Amino acid sequence: MKAIFATGDGSLDPQLISGAGAAAAEGAVIGCPCNIPDASTPSEFAQKYKAKFNVDPAIYATEGYDAATAIINAVKAGNTTGEKINEFLKTADFKGVSKQIKFKANGEPETNAIYVYQVVSGAIKNLGASTEAKITG
């Protein structure tokens, strides 16, 4: 029986391929709310990240960068207490490196996209948002 192996964000790591073996991992599909650029479409963020840390961006690297940017923007605007930072974040609305950064009234992210990745030719490839991704195999 042949079937596509599908898994969640905990498997979004090159060790999925090395641990399972390239042949067994080929075609595996991973879903994640994280948006990691892959080597075939490197972003400016990915290039700078690799230059600084000598590794490709890992899971949630872009979201972590965007979260830090939002908090830094709050502090730069003079908000230095947790309460004031949280109030400022309610108004945040900017294009982050991962996605649009904007929050609902309850503090949850406005964007709830799930990104789809697939092991293709021995590498994890970002296929894009689940609403647009095309799985092969």
Q: Model-level pTM?
A: 0.82
What's the whole-number mean pLDDT along residues 50-63?
Answer: 91
Comparing C-alpha atoms, which of 71, 121, 132 is closest to residue 101? 71
Please state whether 124 falls in left (phi above 0), alpha (psi between -120 and 50) or beta. Answer: beta
- Which residues make Cβ contacts (< 8 Å) with residue 134, sequence separation at least 6? 127
Show the domains of the chain with their CATH numbers.
Answer: 1-33+113-137 (no CATH), 39-112 (3.40.50.2300)
What's the whole-number mean pLDDT along residues 56-73?
Answer: 93
Q: Which two tokens stand for residue 23?
A: 């042949």
pLDDT band for position 39 (cuts 50, 70, 90):
low
